[in-house]
Copies of this chain bind each other. A is one copy, B any other.
């Protein structure tokens, strides 16, 4: 029952984003929903051994274009992704948030409650996107 609910939710969300909710896409999006950290392509690949890398790659790209996931560059050089929150428009002031990368466990999390501070820019510069990544030791590793 819970599973079914989740499935329907994700399905609605994909449709809303203009993405056809294929089995593959539901699978991948549900997987991402279950994670509490940002995932790399390889993570998804490992979770679904049978699925082609390319498929995952393109699925994620589609999600990204449609605003279903956002990309995170945590400084490791490996692209990570996390589901956007509901109603997210990736608006700088309202939706973008802080990311934390733990150098010990190598995991990256979205701190969605920690929005970006206001940032001043020199005259003539215009901001379209902001990436704020704090690196250090996370709660789990810091004990």
Contact = CB atoms under 8 A, between A and B. Distances in A.
A126 B137 contact: yes
A100 B125 contact: yes
A135 B113 CA distance: 22
30 contacts: A73-B75, A73-B77, A75-B131, A77-B79, A100-B121, A100-B125, A103-B128, A111-B122, A113-B122, A114-B120, A114-B122, A117-B117, A117-B119, A124-B138, A125-B134, A125-B137, A125-B139, A125-B142, A126-B136, A126-B137, A126-B142, A127-B134, A127-B135, A127-B136, A130-B132, A130-B134, A130-B135, A131-B133, A131-B135, A132-B132
Interface of A: 73, 75, 77, 79, 98, 100, 103, 111, 113-114, 117-139, 142-143
Given A124-B138, A125-B136, A127-B134, 14 more contacts: A73-B73, A98-B119, A100-B121, A111-B121, A114-B120, A117-B118, A119-B134, A123-B139, A125-B138, A126-B142, A128-B136, A130-B133, A130-B134, A131-B132
